[in-house]
Structure 1
């Protein structure tokens, strides 16, 4: 049976608003939470980017829902030994309701220390090594590691969860999906990509959970919803590797000048207040084979969104 969760956007809202949305999501009937981990928003207009690990601590007290980062890059901006401590503490404070979602990252967030931004194949190699280091540290054992990319010396985490933390790996290309199948406990992607999921399964991911994230824009006026998406999240429509290599929100603003409102209208993104459009979008992910589907509302009418899902969308998916 597919689980439906809510995707908390750290780029779009401050920490207090995210915590309140988590409460609203639980009340509406959502079963889990994703939360993004960024240093910058994609675009200045989105306007936020709180430290995800602080927000997770607040979420642990605000709801009883499971929480997962979607996703953290544990390779450049923060050393994997430090991320391991954040993961362990999050799992303990959430009493086992934490999954750790990881990915190879974007220059937007990882370039800030002035380090070289590697090509995709090297980023995947770094991710594989980082996940190995994190898994060892989460056991509470004393770790010494000297690898190609990371060194850890006499490190031990004293506060660790009773059970291993599941580590899910994101992928948006076939080669990355194959890496995810090898090193991950589960798979994360955006949109109902059945072919990418097939590659993950065939590469060794059979029996592992797969999660799909989508966006929606609830508004009583569909044209207003279209304009909201175009104005606030046009970066979703950028092709290829641009999302991984552009270093600043200003560069995304320049690139998204090529995105029109017609791109938004022609997309499968549910726009407006028709519950059937929202149901179709979520069902597309489930029909593609994904076990968990997370939806994020673009726009400020959170009460209207959660009311629609509580009364007319989620009941059709149960």
Structure 2
């Protein structure tokens, strides 16, 4: 059965607003929510970057049914995987079986802040593979040691473990990462309608596992206003390349966005008040092989968007 989710954008909203939106999304009938884990927003205009593990605690206290996934956490550079193992175990305990740990190989934007070398993509995937192994090892309970190629763990034990361990979904933007996700993950996370990633994931061990796609779009009462909103808050939408993972600062992203025109936004991003266009976008993503569809509403008008989906879109997928 397909699940429709709501994106909690940590780059654009304060932690208390994110908690409130999670509650509103649950009440409106969304099945799950995916919350981003950033140290920086993409551009300064977005203006926020609350610590996701604190925000998750607040969400756990105001929701009862909503499944929550990190979308996504990088457990390799900025934060050691042993710490992520503890944080995720605590989140899973607080959410009582409603937590999914979504992990990925990260973006330089967030991971460079301690002065560590930003590795090449193949090395980042190797680090992610080892990090997931560490997390799963620590989730076994008991005192654990680990001596890997990239990480070391000595006499570590997570004492607060949930009765039901959370699944681990692995993000992929290319074939190598999708193959790794099929091998080590309980699910796949991707952006858009990338059937080719689902295919690689399935043949690599992911068949019968869940596939989550994130769709970024903008609803507004007027379609031109929706385009303007994306242009103001998320002008990097037209860029669909590996460059996004390599750029180190918001200033660099803003310089990149200077090349974007309004027509580029209209061509790259669904900006519409027509519910049929939203339903068609979701349906195409389902047909590409995804069964978890997360909708990322760009801009400040989140409550209005949630109500639009409650009334016009979600009933069509029930």
Q: Which residue is 1:206 aligned to?
A: 207
Residue 166 (structure 1) shift: 0.5
Deviations along 1:276-316, one digit per CA (max 9) or x if unpaired, are 11111111211111010010111222232111111111111
2: CA distance between counterparts of 1:235 and 1:140? 43
SS of the residue 1:258 aligns to = coil
Mapping of residues 305-316 of structure 1, within 5 Å: 305-316=305-316
Structure 1 outlier segments of 4+, above 4 Å: none
Q: Which residue is 1:104 aligned to?
A: 105
Alignment: residue pair count: 317
Residue 233 (structure 1) shift: 0.7
Q: Which residue is 2:273 aligned to?
A: 273
Q: Which residue is 2:233 aligned to?
A: 232
Q: Which residue is 1:296 aligned to?
A: 296
Could you list the runs of 5+ residues in structure 2 that have no partner in the other structure?
none
Task: Say what the alpha-carbon RMSD is for the aligned residues.
Answer: 1.0
Residue 236 (structure 1) shift: 2.4
User: Is the contact between residue 139 and residue 164 of structure 1 (CA under 8 Å) also seen in structure 2?
Assistant: no
Could you list the runs of 5+ residues in structure 1 that have no partner in the other structure?
none
Q: Which residue is 1:88 aligned to?
A: 89
Q: Which residue is 2:151 aligned to?
A: 150
Residue 231 (structure 1) shift: 1.7
Q: Which residue is 1:122 aligned to?
A: 123
Q: Which residue is 1:243 aligned to?
A: 244
Residue 250 (structure 1) shift: 0.4
Q: Which residue is 1:18 aligned to?
A: 18
User: Which TM-score applies when normalising by structure 2?
Assistant: 0.98
1: CA distance between counterparts of 2:237 and 2:82? 32
Deviations along 1:17-37, one digit per CA (max 9) or x if unpaired, are 101111111111101111000
User: Which TM-score applies when normalising by structure 1?
Assistant: 0.98
Deviations along 1:45-75, one digit per CA (max 9) or x if unpaired, are 1110000000000000111211100000000
SS of the residue 1:41 aligns to = coil
SS of the residue 1:108 aligns to = helix
1: CA distance between counterparts of 2:181 and 2:261? 33
1: CA distance between counterparts of 2:160 and 2:220? 44
User: Is the contact between residue 271 and residue 277 of structure 1 (CA under 8 Å) also seen in structure 2?
Assistant: no
SS of the residue 2:38 aligns to = coil
User: Is the contact between residue 21 and residue 303 of structure 2 (CA under 8 Å) also seen in structure 1?
Assistant: no
1: CA distance between counterparts of 2:196 and 2:129? 23
